[in-house]
Structure 1
Amino acid sequence: MNKRIILVSVLVASALSTSAQPGIDEINQAKQQLSSTFFSALDCSLVLAGIFGILGAVRIYHNWQMGHPRIDQAVAGWFFAAIFMILAGGFLQALFGI
């Protein structure tokens, strides 16, 4: 009889310790906060890509009108800077699963 009481108390204690997962609520709260602020970061990356595109276009047009012979590197640099910002937003969205 005494062994049964000890066995039951050990099983109840182990069941209580496994059901009390610490930090689950905090993890869910952090995920909610991340998903609420992430879309503003994604929008920010798209805005930065647009700014890079506009500044690059104006600068390249100015260099072209001034007669600079080698604008190919500038075109590629500004273009890939804008593409990088767009892809960085998509990569972060896939990384965090939002």
Structure 2
Amino acid sequence: MQCKRKQALLLSAVLMSSSITALYAQDGVAGIQEANTKVRGYFDVGCNLMYAVGAILGLIGAVKVYQKWSNGHPDTGATAAAWFGSCVFLVVVATVLKSFFGI
């Protein structure tokens, strides 16, 4: 009698744990879909932020290059290339991400 009681208890525990696992698995799929929706919602805002940062870096770079040019520093061309390259990189990355992910 004791053995049947243990078997029934074990069987009920296994059934309960499998039903709970199935319930949480469905919540996991819903959570992943919700996260996907939220990330896609922030994507345009992030790309616009990258454009804004690129514009600010362009302005700062223009001032720095002008200061070097006014003072007659010989490495003005390298500084201009570095600042311009960073701005172009940010804009290209944002554009490529938008076109790659199709959002």
Give your verdict on TM over 0.5. yes
Choose the corresponding residue for 1:58, options 55, 63, 66: 63
Separation in 2, partners of 1:29, 1:90: 25
Deviations 1:10-60 (A, max 9, x none): xxxxxxxxxxx9454333322210111111110110011001100000000
State the partner residue of 1:42. 47
Q: Percent identity?
A: 28
- Give the gaps of 5 or more residues in structure 1: 1-20
Bigger mean CA offset, 29-38 vs 78-87: 29-38
| Residue-pair matches, total | 78
- Give the gaps of 5 or more residues in structure 2: 1-24
Q: Normalising by the residue count of structure 1, what TM-score does the alignment of the two structures yield? A: 0.68
Runs of 4+ deviating beyond 6 Å: none
* Alignment RMSD (CA, Å): 1.9
Q: Normalising by the residue count of structure 2, what TM-score does the alignment of the two structures yield? A: 0.65
